[in-house]
Each structure stands twice: as structure tokens, then as C-alpha cells.
Amino acid sequence: MSERFPVPPRIQERALINRWEEYSRLYRESLENRDDFWATQARLFLTWDRDFSQTSSCDYRTGTIEWFSDGQLNVSKNCIDRHLVSRGEKPAILWEGNELGERKTITYRELHSEVCRFANMLTNLGVSKGDRVIIYLPMIPELAYSMLACARIGAVHSVVFAGFSAESLGNRIEDCQAKVVITANEGLRGPKTIPLKSICDEAVLDAQSVKAVVVVRRTSNRTEMKSGRDFWSEELLATASPECAPVVLDAEDPLFILYTSGSTGKPKGLVHTQAGYLLYTAFTHKFVFDYHEDDIYCCVADCGWITGHSYIVYGPLANGATTVMFESTPTYPDPGRYWEMIDRLGVTSFYTAPTAIRALEKEGEIWPEKYSLESLRILGSVGEPINEDAWLWYYNHVGHRRCTIVDTWWQTETGGILISPLPGVTETKPGSATFPLFGIDPVLIDDNGKEVSTTPGKGRLCIRDSWPGQSRTVFGDHDRFFDTYFREIPGMYLTGDAAERDSDGYFWIRGRVDDVLNVSGHRLGTAEIESAIDHCELVVEAAVVGIPHEVKGTGIYAFCIASREIRSVEEAEFEVKNTVRKVIGPFAAPDHVQFVTGLPKTRSGKIMRRILRKIASGDLESLGDISTLADSAVVEEIVSGRKR
């Protein structure tokens, strides 16, 4: 069993919860009296326009989930207005632009005016309660303003990561029938410029629902504008009032839709609602990051993913925190970028993904060594299992052995963190997300669908009963929501991950059990990548598997059958990669493409991915005797042509 790291004394001294007995007692109570527990928290954390009388009403037999349903409130009021009296001049957002030295401080008072102006702008464009607004922006303050402006008027936002292609963007616009799209003329990511507006033009070409495209000017380059449809935000905002009364909403009105990949079909638009989501993100932000009023909290995720929604915008702002918004990349202009920023801003909590830690580890200790990093207390990790090596590097070279690492396990569907250490109480083990948070009851299910009651034990990770941050449905397809998460194991939420509980009760997340890949912390379905490759006229059939990758965690390996004779293999491989870049986005491009003449299949015609996975990872010994396979010749050919 791996080494345990005790709670650093200086972290324990200050912590909100600093005795293990306190955690266990509260945890027990939270499960025994779930509704009482959350009702108390809901009144502590949120400001209600109308109090609720019923705490929860959930039924996993139909996938019905409701929290505080007769309560009313406004999320933007909770994130902004209620702080104005005591925190008006406090920085709400510290924006770090792409170029070193490019920055902006936005106080709560300024955030209030900006969000009101954005809200009025949307109203002037005809957006009202329940309408969907797609946000396709780089990590600039306008992204947060847009999200909060939607929340203010009851519109439902759907942020699309600015690395997605025109086709992916178009599919999302179509699926949610967006009325308005907010984008920027261009995006900046390190040395690269991304033509967001022209990507958007392509995406909205056939979109009947889109009445207006709002363009934020990020660069001074020339931009094509279609008259009557496209508007510069600066022009619309010039006449928008900086006052806008927040609309009173029901707790279960939708707040946003966020698309995420699954094992089959097109990405699902997961719906999160107002009160439960806000409560859960605020609550977990406070306890997992041991949040105190004078902290400088910094999560370097992108708002295009759930981490940015919950732990850059909603959770921290609901708590009145100062939250950093980072536009650049970890290595621009050099691999000291994060560490420089931490020293300059005095960051106390820093939250990133294992893939970034591994990339920076490769650049060497000389980068963090240039900086003191002494303001840091809590270091967070999210998105994929963190390997021991990366954990130790983070702990030693960034945290200087005096910070707590919180390895936070959760999902787009869960809204917020479910399993994580608590800084003041949990002894950590590198690579383990440790223990469930309050109100969360993780269960392991074996291959027969039975609960694993032994410790140690392993199985498919499920969660018994609901928590307020849980996603409520798939937009426009509740059956799909039910089928994906609740049908197979009655009474449980099925996470799609495998996990182990060790003899000390620590949870270790072992990765996905379905055909979902976690590439640099980005979730991609193998089926989604395969159908993207189908767009390439050179390919008749493709099979995609994940392989271990030093930095990305999981790399993408594509086996393709060519539609005709290939003259240049390099060109053909490039074609395939480029097709995926265009159809999904650059981050989904395969690392390896191998052309084959056939794929191993079962008698019923299903591709034998298990075999392909082994070949792609070079795990050839465990293939066993190839000659016994139906497709032995195919397998031999694939083995001999393997890319590495």
C-alpha cells in the first residue's frame, strides 16, 4: 500500500474542518438525514427570493431529480448583487490575458454593471427566459459576463469550448435551437490565433433558430460582419443600461446545458438547474479548497468544460471569492507561466489537470524553482487519474511539501466534486481521490450487478441517492438520460468509471469502463472519433482505441481501412488526422493512424476492441495465441504494421 502524506500542520490550523472525527460525524449525519443536511446548507449558502418547503423529490426509477423545487432565487444575484454591500470593491475576477502582463481586475461592483449591460443587450436582442444562448468565446471576462447575464434573465446558456470545430459548434446550436450566439472575432492561445468568427459563420450557415450573432472584439484584425445578423458587442453595449433587475426563477428552471461525450451517439446536452447546482458548487468550493475570505483562488481550466462553470465562475463567485481567469497556455511564453502568476497574484489555491502537471514536469524543476510559490496552500487536480509520479512532482516542486493536494473526482453530470480529500483532515495517498464528500454515498458494483460490500473491493462506481448538484436530464431526451445513468443498476447513478476501495477505505478511480476516452482531461467517445473519420473519403471503416500517453494520459490510436489504393501513407495519415481536427476540433486528432486491410471482428460483426487496444498499446504477449482467432491473418498483419 502506498505511502500516506499527513495533513501539513499549517493547513490543519486554519482549516474549516480540521478533525477527522468532525468529518466522520458530519458525513454520517449527511447520509442519515440527507434532506435536513442540505436544507440547512441551502439556507446558509444561498439567498432565496422565496424559501422552499420541500427539500428533495428524487426517483431513480424514472430519473426524476428535484431539489428545493418550490423555492425561488436568481443565480446572478447570488453571485454578484448580495456581495455588493460588503465586497463591492473586492476583486471578483483577476483576468490574466494571453500575453504576459496583459491583465485586468474586475471588482464585484464592476462585475455587476458589466453583467447587467450584457443582460440588457440580450434582452434587447429578444432573448427571454428559457431561450438558449450559445457562448463560443475564449477565456476573456466577457465569457463570465455572458454566462451570468443569461442567469440574470433566465436564459439558458450553453458554452462551447473555443477549440471545437464549426461542425461541432453547429451541431450544438442545432440541438438546443439557440436564439443567439456570442463569439469573438478571434481567439488567442499562446502563439496561435483562432478564427472564431469565421468558424462561427460556417456553423450558423443553416441554423434557422439563430437570430443574432454577437461578436466581442478580441483582436484588431479585420472581421467580416453579416449585416442584420452580426453585431459588435461594443456597439450593442454602448446603449445598454448598467442596471438590470434579476429575474426571479424557480429552483428547477434550467441554468445551463453543457454538451459532453458518451460511449455512443452524438454528445449529450446535460442540463443543470438553478438552486441545487449553485448550492453544490458553492458548498464544495468552500470545503474542498478550504476557502477563506482573503484567498486568491485560481482554477486554470476553460469555461468550455464543467470545471470552468463550477469552479471558476459559479462556486467561487457565490462564495464572494476572488477568482482568476486565465486565457493563455501553461507554456506561453515559457513553462514558468503559472508559477510567475502564482507569485505575482499571491495565489492560495491552484487547480489544474494531471496532463498539465505532466507537461510541466517534462520541462524540468528549473521552472518552478525560479519562483517562491509560498502563497500556495491547496493544490487541486481534476479530469483524470493522477499518476504517482506527477502527484509527487506537484507535491514536492510546486507545493514544497507544505500544501495539501486535493485529487478531486467528479463529472459533467455530477455538477461538482463528489470524492476528494478535505485539506484539514484527510491524509492523502498519491493517486487516490480518497473519500466521499458530505451527502455522497459511493457504491461499487460487481460484474453481476451486485454491491461489493468488502473492503478492499473493486467494481463499477455508482452513487446511491441524489445530491443537489446532479444533472437533471439530457436536453430534449430524458429517455437517453434515464437509459445512460439509471437503467442498468436500479436505485443507483451509474458513473461509467471503475474504482477500487483499498483496505483503508480510500477510493482509487481506475478510469472509464465504457468506450469513452479521457484525452488530456477532455472526454471523447471512440464512436464520435470514428464517425468523424468517416467524413474522410479515403477511409471506409475505422476503429479507434485509447493508448497510454506520457502527457495526455490517454492517446488516440486509429485503425483505418482505406477506400482505395494509397499512394503516400504520410499524406493519408495526415488526411485522417486533419479530418478529425475539422469535424470535432484539434484536440481530438489521433496520435497514430494505421492503415489496415481488415479489422478483427466477432461472428456477429462487432469490432474486437480489446484486441486492438492491446496491439495499439504494444501489449502483444497477452494477445495469446493469435492463430486461434477467426481473423488470425488480419491480426498478424495489424501487429506487424503497428505504429509507435
Q: Which residues bind ligand WT7 (CB under 6 A)?
A: 260, 305-307, 382-385, 407-412, 433, 495-497, 509, 511-512, 518, 523
SS3 321: coil
Q: From the CB of 573, what's the least distance to ligand WT7, in Å?
A: 27
Per the rule left: phi > 0, alpha: psi between -120 and 50, beta: everything else, 51 is beta
Pick the closer one to ligand WT7 by CB: 90 or 510: 510
Per the rule left: phi > 0, alpha: psi between -120 and 50, beta: everything else, 624 is left
Q: From the CB of 230, what's the least distance to ligand WT7, in Å?
A: 31
Residue with cell 502527457: 551
Q: ∠ CA 581-585-591 to the nearest 5 degrees?
A: 55
The set of residues, in sequence order, having a beta carbon less than 8 Å from that of 411 and lying 6+ positions away, is 306, 495, 496
Beta bridge partners of 5: 428
Pick the closer one to ligand WT7 by CB: 233 or 518: 518
Q: From the CB of 413, what's the least distance to ligand WT7, in Å?
A: 7
Pick the closer one to ligand WT7 by CB: 76 or 420: 420
Q: From the CB of 69, what's the least distance to ligand WT7, in Å?
A: 25
Residue with cell 463560443: 136
Pick the closer one to ligand WT7 by CB: 170 or 385: 385
Q: From the CB of 354, what's the least distance to ligand WT7, in Å?
A: 8
Q: From the CB of 406, what's the least distance to ligand WT7, in Å?
A: 9
Measure the CA–CA gap between 264 and 474, rounded to whole angstroms: 14
How far is the CA of 507 from the CAs of 72, 148, 330, 408, 500, in angstroms?
A: 37, 35, 29, 11, 6
Pick the closer one to ligand WT7 by CB: 216 or 403: 403
Q: From the CB of 179, what's the least distance to ligand WT7, in Å?
A: 26
Pick the closer one to ligand WT7 by CB: 214 or 517: 517
Q: From the CB of 124, what's the least distance to ligand WT7, in Å?
A: 34
Would you say how long the chain is, in residues? 644
Residue with cell 466534486: 417
Closest CA to 408 of 376, 385, 389, 441: 385
The DSSP symbol for 394 reads I
Pick the closer one to ligand WT7 by CB: 107 or 554: 554
7-41 exposure pattern, b = at least 16 Cβ within 10 A, e = fewer: bbeebbeebebbeeeebeebbeebbeebeebbbeb
Three cell numbers, residue 573: 495519415
Pick the closer one to ligand WT7 by CB: 501 or 523: 523
Pick the closer one to ligand WT7 by CB: 175 or 384: 384
Pick the closer one to ligand WT7 by CB: 380 or 600: 380
Q: State the CB neighbour count (10 A cutoff) for residue 634.
A: 19
Q: From the CB of 288, what's the least distance to ligand WT7, in Å?
A: 11
Q: From the CB of 65, what's the least distance to ligand WT7, in Å?
A: 17
Pick the closer one to ligand WT7 by CB: 55 or 168: 168
Measure the CA–CA gap between 93 and 230, rounded to whole angstroms: 28
For 375-455, where are the E strands, in sequence order? 378-382, 404-408, 441-445
Question: With contact defined as beta carbons under 8 Å apart, do 505 and 499 qualify?
Answer: no
Q: From the CB of 202, what's the least distance to ligand WT7, in Å?
A: 25
Measure the CA–CA gap between 307 and 299, rounded to whole angstroms: 8
Report the Cα 389 to chain-centroid distance in Å: 23
Instruction: Return the residue nearest ligand WT7 (CB atom).
Output: 412
Cβ neighbourhood burial of 543 (10 Å; 0-12, 13-18, 19+): buried
Measure the CA–CA gap between 515 and 318, rounded to whole angstroms: 36
Question: With contact defined as beta carbons under 8 Å apart, do 540 and 561 qualify?
Answer: yes
- CA atoms lying within 13 Å on the CB side of residue 540: 10
Closest CA to 431 of 376, 394, 377, 378: 394
Q: From the CB of 570, what's the least distance to ligand WT7, in Å?
A: 32
Pick the closer one to ligand WT7 by CB: 7 or 463: 463
